[in-house]
Amino acid sequence: MSQCVSEARLTPRQLPGQKLIHSRVCVDPVPDVTERRVDYFGNEVVAVSIFHTHESFVTTSSSIVDVSPVTRGPMPDISWEAARDHMIAHTDDESLVAYEFTFDSPYVTAEPELAAYAAPSFTPGRPLAEAVQELSHRIHKEFLYRPKATTIDMPLIQVLEKRQGVCQDFTHIMIGALRSLRLSARYVSGYLKSGSKYQGAEASHAWVSVYLPDYGWLDLDPTNDMIPGEGHITLALGRDYADVTPVKGIALGGGGQTVEVEVKVVPASAAAIQSALTSM
């Protein structure tokens, strides 16, 4: 390759229950230009440009994150219809922010087939919190986790028909089903603790965040049929995968290209934490 321009969203978010202690993104070869910014959704972006010939391009991100349980009140019993109407009215700041996640996005469009798939879980008057948890459970039960069964640009209706894919497919299906009912859902990218018995460990992972009025955002992992906890690390938030792609860019100069990804999430020793803090 003779030139490449790339950007990475690999810095964990600061969130309740997730405190970022240290983070560093390194690129090899050394970029000619490096810029840092925060995107529209609040994700930190590292953008690099390389204008000299190189045979490989390696992005390495290392972070130390303190995760802890988050104490929250009981989930509201508001019906999904009332929650939908509250979102449409968006009379307060939180619902206004959530409202923009009810619309179509590059990889997720509202479709009648997706609404029909969601319908058995969203019976009249059912509490939204209860309905979304059942929808997540159904996706986990009815879809086969199968790497390479889909591509990122495969239409959601085809994914729905195949009933197989990986975490980003499960997440897109659930978001599409919810938006087809005019409910608010966003895409979360992150990691799972290494060695986990759950699907998606030691690779980039994804799950769904659903807005509940008077409660906030409820995260659900349909790939593993669970509410994310201390084993999940959140990197970025957006409308779908297009907004939160961990590393993307353009390379010029000919030749074939292969992509390899490796993720390790392990407990940090006191010595490692001290070393990282000292190097800041």
Which amino acid type is present at position 199? Q
Taking residues 156-169, report their average pLDDT. 96
Residue 103 within any structural domain of the chain:
yes
**Number of domains the chain contains:** 2
Residue 66's Cβ-count burial label (10 Å; 0-12, 13-18, 19+) is exposed
Residues 171, 185, single domain; the answer is yes
Domain span at 10? 3-69+246-267
Residues 35, 97, single domain; the answer is no
Residues 196, 233, single domain; the answer is yes
CA distance 6 to 136: 34
Annotate 43-56 with DSSP letters as a single string: -EEEEEEE-S--S-
CA distance 180 to 13: 28
Taking 70 as the threshold, does the pLDDT of residue 1 lie above it?
A: no
Residues 232, 97, single domain; the answer is yes
Q: Give this prediction's pTM.
A: 0.92
> What's the CATH code of the domain at 50?
2.60.40
Residues 54, 180, single domain; the answer is no
Residues 233, 119, single domain; the answer is yes
| Residue 223: Cβ within 10 Å count | 27
Residues 34, 148, single domain; the answer is no
Residue 277 within any structural domain of the chain:
no
Residue 53 within any structural domain of the chain:
yes
Taking 90 as the threshold, does the pLDDT of residue 275 lie above it?
A: no
Residues 251, 263, single domain; the answer is yes
Q: Specify the pLDDT at position 268.
A: 80
Taking residues 140-144, report their average pLDDT. 97
Q: Specify the pLDDT at position 230.
A: 85
Residues 178, 218, single domain; the answer is yes
Residues 230, 260, single domain; the answer is no
**pLDDT tens per residue across span 220-259:** 999 999 999 888 999 999 999 999 999 998 888 766 677 7
Residue 272 within any structural domain of the chain:
no
Residues 215, 262, single domain; the answer is no
> What's the CATH code of the domain at 164?
3.10.620.30
At 278, is the pLDDT very low, low, confident or very high (cuts 50, 70, 90)?
low
The DSSP symbol for 11 reads S
At 266, is the pLDDT very low, low, confident or very high (cuts 50, 70, 90)?
confident
Residue 273 within any structural domain of the chain:
no
Residue 274 within any structural domain of the chain:
no
**pLDDT tens per residue across span 34-81:** 999 999 999 999 999 988 888 888 899 999 999 998 888 899 999 999
Residue 74 within any structural domain of the chain:
no
Contacts of 10 (CB under 8 A, 6+ apart): 25, 46, 59, 61, 63, 235, 246, 247
Instruction: Round the average pLDDT of the chain to a whole number and report it.
Output: 92
Residue 276 within any structural domain of the chain:
no
Residues 33, 129, single domain; the answer is no
Taking 60 as the threshold, does the pLDDT of residue 280 lie above it?
A: no
